Amino acid sequence: MSFEKLGLIKPLLGAIKELGYEHPTVIQKRAIPLVLAKSDIFATAQTGTGKTAAFALPILQKLRNTEATENRAIRAVILSPTRELSIQIFEDIKGFSKHMSIDCVVLVGGKDIETQQRTLKKGVDIVIATPGRFLEHVEKGLDISHVEFFVLDEADRMLDMGFAKEIRKVHPLLPKRHQTLLFAATYSEKVRKLSKLVLTKPAFIETSKKNSTVDTINQVAYMVDTARKAELLAYLIGSRNFKQVLVFTRTKVSADALFIELQKDGLKCGIIHGDKTQANRLKTLTQFKEGTIKVLVATDIASRGLDIEHLPYVINYELPAVAEDYVHRVGRTGRAGRDGEAISLLDIYEKFDVREIERVIGMKIPQETIPGFEPDPTIRRKDEEEFKAKSEYKKPVEKHKRKPAKKAFVKPVSKKKRKTTKRD
């Protein structure tokens, strides 16, 4: 199927062609006609499947008749969990709407709110924002009474980050007649409850098994001692000539320590995490995309919203604290049908933790060792026996049969004193 058959107008088709898109993805094929038909949507799809275009293209088509006049009302609001993702959506929409008179603005923390207010007063069609900053503007008087489209992108992540309160405050202020489009990479009970609150008779779209990873990603885990993880990482990058690799750590402290070690090994690398300023993070991301640096060390702040074209490798230096975040991490590679490889470095503290990830994604991750980096068999984690005891792999233990309890307050009757009856 082509984009033309989805009923998109010429200005959008021209922009799509210039951007190099040839055929719509599965989520785009299913979502675009439903949005154009004015249906609410609840869609779960893997990361890297083109979700932004799935909602942006039909919304832009619906707004095509908007004239660029001063003080016009906001007609579409798109909320996303992070600044990086909001900026990425903003850039995508600017690209899709290059042949249209559509104005959009991105509202995120770390920027002067008064400057943002002045931009809003000039009149915009689309607002892309993080929930916290958007609620700030609403509480300061931002008019959202004419909104026609309300999009929650990466809704699962927003809930994980504690933005449920902001969404619940904003939703009742929207006009009764509007379309809500909810997109999530993973499915959870929290997402289901939110969908019941914000959606009206939605069309459900599930393009893959819940919480699964895309088939184009080759996944493998290498067993290694904790103390040799950084050494193995540098070896893999050097011996296999990785041109561009995104490396995830579990904490900011780990990220900082690894960044220093990789620099000592002579690797050109950058680092992003919550303690870095927005300007610093954006500069580092730009350098990574342009190839100035080949290794980007990041915490899970970067697992969502990063659309790095042709990113070939993602490495889990440490497993995420939440199993579902593994899906988002590895989803940075293998995007839009391209091949990618996801490597996890497992020490003795993680060999049991990976089983929860395998349960979530519904598949086994092959575990191998690299010659020269075999784990020391004498090293054991202190709580390994406790993990084994809790593991589903533990053999069931036969329970002893309990003796029947004696009835309380009933005196046994002696056979000798027992009276005979006619039955006897």
Beta-bridge partners for 150 = 77, 180
Read off the pLDDT band of 188 (50, 70, 90): confident
Q: What tokens were used for 179? A: 């379309």
Give the pLDDT of residue 409.
47
Mean pLDDT for 203-226 is 78
Residue type, 273: H
DSSP calls for 109-174: TTS-HHHHHHHHHT--SEEEE-HHHHHHHHHTT---TT--EEEETTHHHHHHTT-HHHHHHHGGGS
Name the CATH architecture for the domain at 4-206: 3-Layer(aba) Sandwich (3.40)
Give the pLDDT of residue 330.
85
Mean pLDDT of the chain: 84
Residue range 346-368, pLDDT digits in tens: 998 888 888 888 888 888 999 99
Read off the pLDDT band of 47 (50, 70, 90): low
Cα–Cα distances in Å, from 159 out to 192, 324, 343? 11, 13, 27
Q: What is the pTM of this model?
A: 0.63
Mean pLDDT for 90-111 is 92
Cβ atoms of 66 and 101 within 8 Å: the answer is yes
Residue ranges per structural domain of the chain: 4-206, 217-390
Beta-strand relationship, 126-129 and 269-272? unpaired
Fold match between 4-206 and 217-390? Answer: yes
CATH class, domain 217-390, is: alpha beta
Q: What tokens were used for 10? A: 């010429």
